[in-house]
Amino acid sequence: MKLYASIYIGSYEIILKVFQITQKKRLKELDCLRTPIDTAQDIYASGQLKKETVDRICNVLEDMKRTLALYRLTEDYQIYAGSTFTAAGNRLFAMEQIKLRTGMKVLALSNSEHRFMSYRAVASQDNFDAMVSESAAIVDIGGASLQITLFYHGKVRTTQHIGLGTVIMSENMKRLSYMTNHKEQIAQMMYKELDAFVTMHMQDVKLKYLIILGDHVSTLMERAVDDATREPIRMEHYMELLENMRDKTLQSIIREFDVLNDHEELIEPFLMLHHAIAEKLPAKYVYVPGVSVNDGMAYHYFAPKHYLQVEHDFDQDIISAAWSIAKRYGSYQPHLKALDKISTQIFDATKKFHGLDKRQRLLMRLVAILHDCGKYISISDASDCSYIIIMSSEILGLSHKEREMVATVVSLNRKSLESYDSMADRFSVDEYMTIVKLLAILKVANALDRSHRQKFKNIKMAVRGNRLHITIEATDSIALEKGMFEEKADFFESVFSIRPILRELRVFE
Amino acid sequence: MSKAEEFKNPKYYDNRELSWIKFEHRVLNEAKDKEIPILDRLKFVSITSSNLDEFFMVRVASLKDMEHAGYTKKDIAGMDPTEQLCAIGKEVHALVEKQYNTYNRSLMPILRKEGIRIIGAYEELNEKQATYVDKYFMEHVYPVLTPMAVDASRPFPLVRNKSLNIAALIKSKHPNSKLQQGSKQELEFATVQVPSVLPRLVPIPGEDDRYTFTLLEQIIEKNMAQLFLNYDLVCAYPYRIMRNADLSFDEDEASDLLKEIQKQLVKRQWGEVIRLEIEHKADKRLLQVLKEQLAVSGKDVYEIAGPLDLTFLMKMYGLSGCDDLREKLFVPQKNPRILPGESIFDEIKKGDIFLTHPYETFDPVVDFIKQAAVDPDVLAIKQTLYRVSGNSPIIAALAKAAENGKQVTVLVELKARFDEENNIVWAQKLEKAGCHVIYGLVGLKTHCKIALVVRREEDAITRYVHLGTGNYNDSTAKLYTDCGIFTCNENYGEDATAVFNMLSGYSEPARWNKLVVAPIWLRDRFIALIDREIAHAKEGKEAYIVAKMNSLCDRQIIEKLYEASSVGVEIYLVIRGICCLRTGIPGVSEHIHVTSIVGTFLEHSRIFYFYNNGQEDIYMGSADWMPRNLDRRVEIVFPVEDDVIKDRIKHILDVLLRDNLKAYAMLSDGTYAKMSRRGKQAIGAQMTFCREAMEGAKEETTVWKGRRFIPIWAFDEEEHEA
């Protein structure tokens, strides 16, 4: 029997969940402790976690140890702090204090990782793949921002971050409350932001499903959309529910939906936001799965161990998101496809020499797919532009650090490599080495399709001795490729100690 | 007036205190029932006496507080506190009169005939007895007495709450002695407490009776003069006072709840005097002193025609050699599913188990904890404890479990009235053993009865849950009728885990699978369930509600029941005690039938049945339909879903409703009367259940369970023919 506990320090709550893998390789929630904390309030008030909040976190974690002990969980648990916590100026101090006082190690999630955890949980639901196979928008609503991921025909089209969140809106409302029409103003701003998303990304999309995720206050929505089966409901029904709630007073909402009134000031902005989203993303069905970061953590923990039934293919999401970015910036796709293929071939052939893993292979593919996107803005400045584009494109499933690594490899494609010292502020030595290795592969692969004309057929790779033999069949002159090749091969050799050798089998048709 | 407003009319409601007094009359009627053996009848008198004490300390005291505070809000029946106190005073006087009439005129003669004598006045002792009594006084009583006189330098002493005392007027023997010069020639007041460490009933030599007793206060009274040797005794009479004992403290300010309650316990005896009982025909001057010094008004004085404080009669119940004067004790039967020595967990796995106490023994519940304590697979035990028995085996098992390394979480309700001292002791004992003890919740009493055992089994964590209507108290489980179920259904298990997480201070779960929990969800659920019957009745479908509980006094629920009755929902209520609802009001409550069963066992289970257009929803739990249960306590009401158990509960309700032996029906004038039995077979619910339990326990080997047939190969002739 496999057990695991996830502890999540969220914007409003600390949640502990204990999970068990059932015989059918399903995840089952055994126990759940949740208790309110003021992370969000602290951050929006001062950017710092207050002493009282840190004390409370320590006390709660200390108490949660009892539950961990009950299930005899000594190793199989993790504590993640959400992106609100991570946004605190004093997060490192807080984490250190927690470690010293409770002996528990907290892992801080960046925004991307945080969103991915929620996404992971919803994507592991049974009906998810069927929903995204047509079209679906996943909206993850947080305190400071919301994130929309658009699926079209099973593929991620885009992930966008919008600066609209329940806490931010409630703060704005308080700030502007002296104005008589402050609510309309805030509503207008909200609609404008959402409009921008719709015009940019949804012109040709007829949305079938709207999937809504979010922290604590979403309990309200889960209770409102009360059906034990947790099936999607029709948009009209959903709108009716929202309308109903808007007509009610705060107190009666609290009473009727049994929400704790810890965060009652958030209810109004919460309703406004949900209403605006439903209006601007008019799907046929609305799905409120009621899963949390904790569930995502469990999937994340168990998935690599193969304890669970095969779940959604998250790598494919990342790849399709990358393709979507490449298309958006008009990259020449046949070249990208060739490059994707060649670079993975090199990667696979030289495994022994680079020692990189499956995840880094995925990064390699991203590098290949995205290496050209900056040309959309400036051909001469493509490196820097690519870097900026990648850094500002959310790719669901990729951590912030991974994204930065991909962007850095791409930006170095046409520049000379910087020394580690100049990058030490951003990357660890291991990360730097990964960047260098991916860069070396990219350069060789890119040289093989220098003309962007995919002249090679049947590329074969084999390592013999300290050489990487790349055998190609070409139908055309490959003089250009050959000329560029040696320079790239030098760099490759300096990194891996093996030299790529290009062997040509000329094919005449 | 709209229909809804109409249902609020105070004249459709009974005052809860007055309704309670009616219940006491029903209990007292048992003492008058000639069918019942004499010692049992005495027991009922004793019960009314102790009930009345509690009633004064809690209810009357709280009304007095309201009166003092100038609180004039009217109750459900439209009476303000002063009006209620007046009415209560009148009714209680009548009740007490009936109590002593019964004692003196009905019970004493029978007792006498059976060879048991209680000499209630020392003047009636014969010479031999008098000598014995005097000797007893000097040897046993005199050394522990503390007589106290009152004069200018010695203020009126503190008379302890509920203690029995003797007041006396005394006069100095030497009015002209030099030493006494200057003191006025007046009567002086003195009082002495009848020691509670000595037995109240003192056996004395009799003639050829089985037993002869006299009362301790009579022995003291007889020798009163010995206590004041320099004085002449003018008169002496026993008296007893009742003080305000309602604990009302601000929990928010108590940093440590435990300390606060301990503090309150000391304070309790200092409360205001709300009742003075004194032997009737007491000296007027003496009574006057008491009234003045204790600040008691005339209407709170009860002149008693017999021994004060009849709770001593409970002691007579256990007299040895008198089995013929007692109802034969019913021995709780084994539950056919649970065989001693077998694993309870294995049996629960086969299906939910239903228990009915006291017809079936409480042992399985104790064994549940005991087995969990030593089971190597058990990870944790969590339980709520409200009132526990002295020397509770459950406490011992929990402590043992903690010592065995199980995680034990216990919520001990310190606020269980009159049990605080007791509970603090258990709580500390458990804590010492390593249990995690929660001392109740701020502002709420934890009244729910739930126990959870978490077990790590081969392929999964399994949760075993016991849910009940009665306390985890093995002594009262022999006297109170209660129900309980064992289940390992995950839906209940998840909810049970959530309940304990909530009790540990964590947030409520996003949803409950099965349990309905007060104070948050329960009221709404009941209202919704009644509303559903209303809807069905309006659609012309059959609509029934049957509910059994201890008390019904929640205004909102009663209004809802009136509404239901007015549209034709048939409502049958079996309510042991207080019922503020009135039956038979045209257009309001014609379809409501209230019965009350007072019997050998105290009716205690709470069962709620809703017809639901044939779907039949049955709930059981710890809550009555009282505001305190629905709003100020943590209660659990749970649905019963197993079809076999549902059938059994339906049978229980059916028998209760057909009871025509012990049941009283509420009449349209608000009074209660025994059911008419004309031409019908007499049915006593408690007797029926006793008989059925005995039959059930015998049946165990022949009941076919499971799916596999078990052939009996070597059957004999007789069985074959049958």
Suggest the residue from A15, A31, A222 to mutate for an interface test with chain B (most B CBs closer than 10 A): A31
Least confident window among A129-143, A194-208, A250-264, B55-69: A250-264
Residues B483 and B581 both lie in one domain: no
B409's enclosing H/E stretch is strand B407-412
How many CA atoms lie less than 13 Å away from B686 in the CB half-sphere?
22
- Flag whether A400 is in a domain: yes
Residue B430: alpha-carbon gap to chain centroid: 25
Domain span at B361: 344-503
- Flag whether A467 is in a domain: yes
Q: What is the CATH number of the domain that holds A405?
A: 1.10.3210.10
Confidence at residue B369, expressed as pLDDT on a 0 to 100 scale: 92
B501: closest chain A residue by CA? A33
CA dist., res. B263 & res. A184, Å (int) = 57
What one-character-per-residue DSSP string does A147-160 give? Answer: EEEEEETTEEEEEE
- Flag whether B587 is in a domain: yes
Residues A96 and A168 both lie in one domain: no
Q: Minimal Cα–Cα distance from A159 to chain B, Å?
A: 29
Confidence at residue B451, expressed as pLDDT on a 0 to 100 scale: 94
Q: Find the distance separating the first CA and the last CA of chain A, reported in whole Å.
A: 62
Q: What is the CATH number of the domain that holds B320?
A: 3.30.1840.10
Number of domains in chain A: 3
Amino acid at B459: D
Residue B685: alpha-carbon gap to chain centroid: 20
CA dist., res. B24 & res. B596, Å (int) = 12
Residues A53 and A141 both lie in one domain: no
- Flag whether A120 is in a domain: no
Q: Minimal Cα–Cα distance from A432 to chain B, Å?
A: 44
Suggest the residue from B507, B520, B523 to mutate for an interface test with chain A (most A CBs closer than 10 A): B507
Confidence at residue B613, expressed as pLDDT on a 0 to 100 scale: 87
Residue A342 banded pLDDT, cuts 50, 70, 90 = confident
Q: Which two tokens stand for residue A210?
A: 């709207």
DSSP state of B581: B
The angle that helices A358-370 and A400-412 make with each other, rounded to 10 degrees, is: 50
Spatial CB neighbours of B655, under 8 Å, sequence gap ≥ 6:
B683, B685, B688, B689
B468's enclosing H/E stretch is strand B461-468
Q: What is the CATH number of the domain that holds A185?
A: 3.30.420.150
- Flag whether A297 is in a domain: no
Q: What's the average model confidence in pLDDT over A259-277?
A: 74
**What are the φ/ψ torsions at residue A308 (nearest 5 degrees)?**
-105, 155
Q: Among the three residues A51, A82, A112, which one is the final residue of a domain in this structure?
A: A112
Where would I find the beta strands (DSSP E) of B57-163? 116-119, 148-150
Confidence at residue B182, expressed as pLDDT on a 0 to 100 scale: 47
Number of domains in chain B: 3
Cross-strand partners of B602 = B480
Q: Which two tokens stand for residue B41?
A: 């009848």
- Flag whether A98 is in a domain: yes
Spatial CB neighbours of B511, under 8 Å, sequence gap ≥ 6:
A222, A223, A226
Residues of chain B with Cβ-Cβ distance to A68 below 8 Å are none
- Flag whether B364 is in a domain: yes
Confidence at residue A122, expressed as pLDDT on a 0 to 100 scale: 84
- Flag whether B716 is in a domain: no
Residues A253 and A368 both lie in one domain: no
Instruction: Give yes or no for a contact between A218 and A121, defined as CB atoms under 8 angstroms apart.
Output: no
Confidence at residue B469, expressed as pLDDT on a 0 to 100 scale: 92
Residues of chain B with Cβ-Cβ distance to A290 below 8 Å are 510
- Indicate if the pLDDT at residue A503 is higher than 90: no
Residues B522 and B373 both lie in one domain: no
Q: What is the CATH number of the domain that holds B364?
A: 3.30.870.10
Residues B306 and B413 both lie in one domain: no
Residues A384 and A458 both lie in one domain: yes
The angle that helices A400-412 and A429-448 make with each other, rounded to 10 degrees, is: 50
Residues B272 and B402 both lie in one domain: no
Residues B445 and B492 both lie in one domain: yes
Residues B91 and B149 both lie in one domain: yes
Q: Which two tokens stand for residue B98?
A: 């009936």
- Flag whether B513 is in a domain: no
Residues B368 and B278 both lie in one domain: no
Residues of chain A with Cβ-Cβ distance to B460 below 8 Å are 1, 20, 22-23
Confidence at residue A252, expressed as pLDDT on a 0 to 100 scale: 62
Residues B522 and B378 both lie in one domain: no
Residues A55 and A143 both lie in one domain: no
A115-163 per-position pLDDT tens digit: 888 888 888 887 888 888 888 898 988 777 888 988 888 888 888 888 8
Q: Do A34 and B506 touch (CB under 8 A)?
A: yes
**What is the overall mean pLDDT for chain A?**
83
Residues A138 and A275 both lie in one domain: yes
CA dist., res. B682 & res. B587, Å (int) = 32
How confident is chain B (722 residues) per 10-residue block, as mean pLDDT? 79 91 92 88 91 85 76 84 91 92 90 87 87 91 88 81 89 65 67 90 83 90 87 90 64 46 53 86 88 87 90 85 83 85 89 90 91 92 83 88 91 68 77 86 82 90 93 86 93 92 84 84 90 92 91 91 92 92 89 90 92 90 87 88 90 88 88 81 86 71 39 37 34
| ipTM passes above 0.85 | no
Q: Note which residues in 449-488 of chain A have CB less than 8 A from chain B.
A: none
- Residue scoring higher pLDDT (B592 or A23): B592
Residues A195 and A234 both lie in one domain: yes
A74-117 per-position pLDDT tens digit: 888 999 998 888 888 898 999 999 999 999 999 888 888 888 88
- Flag whether A351 is in a domain: yes
- Indicate if the pLDDT at residue A432 is higher than 80: yes
Confidence at residue B719, expressed as pLDDT on a 0 to 100 scale: 36
Burial code (b: 16+ CB inside 10 Å, e: under 16) for B102-123 equals bbeebbbeebeebbbbbbbebe
Which one, of A28, A286, A258, lies nearest residue A139 by Cα? Answer: A286
The angle that helices A91-102 and A51-70 make with each other, rounded to 10 degrees, is: 40
Residues A38 and A89 both lie in one domain: yes
Residues of chain A with Cβ-Cβ distance to B379 below 8 Å are 70-72
Q: Annotated binding residues of B for ATP, as ranges?
A: 51, 480, 576, 604
Residues A106 and A130 both lie in one domain: no
Q: In what order do the strands lie in the sheet with A155-162?
A: A155-162, A146-152, A135-141, A209-214, A285-287, A233-234
- Give Rg (Cα) of chain A: 25
Residue B487: alpha-carbon gap to chain centroid: 28
Q: Do A1 and B458 touch (CB under 8 A)?
A: yes
Instruction: Give yes or no for a contact between B167 and B286, defined as CB atoms under 8 angstroms apart.
Output: yes
Confidence at residue A509, expressed as pLDDT on a 0 to 100 scale: 55
Confidence at residue B710, expressed as pLDDT on a 0 to 100 scale: 37
Residues B366 and B434 both lie in one domain: yes
Q: Do B509 and A30 touch (CB under 8 A)?
A: no
CA dist., res. B228 & res. B146, Å (int) = 11
- Indicate if the pLDDT at residue A470 is higher than 50: yes
Confidence at residue A338, expressed as pLDDT on a 0 to 100 scale: 84
Residues A20 and A165 both lie in one domain: no
Residue B35: alpha-carbon gap to chain centroid: 24
Residues B63 and B177 both lie in one domain: yes
Residues B593 and B458 both lie in one domain: no
Domain span at A137: 126-290
Cα separations in angstroms, B308 against B82, B163, B164, B204:
27, 10, 8, 20
Confidence at residue B703, expressed as pLDDT on a 0 to 100 scale: 39
CB atoms within 10 A of CB B44: 24
Q: Which two tokens stand for residue B609?
A: 């049945």
Select the residue of A32, A70, A290 nearest B454 (Cβ to Cβ). A70
Amino acid at B193: Q
Residues A139 and A277 both lie in one domain: yes
Residues B318 and B352 both lie in one domain: no
B361-411 per-position pLDDT tens digit: 999 999 999 999 999 999 999 999 887 776 788 989 999 999 998 999 998
Least confident window among A35-44, A378-387, A432-441, B632-641: A35-44
Confidence at residue B698, expressed as pLDDT on a 0 to 100 scale: 56
Residues of B forming the active site: 447
Residue A507 banded pLDDT, cuts 50, 70, 90 = low
Select the residue of A30, A35, A63 nearest B461 (Cβ to Cβ). A30
- Flag whether A304 is in a domain: no
Residues A415 and A341 both lie in one domain: yes
Q: What percent of chain A has pLDDT over 70?
A: 90
- Indicate if the pLDDT at residue A259 is higher than 50: yes
Give the pTM: 0.82
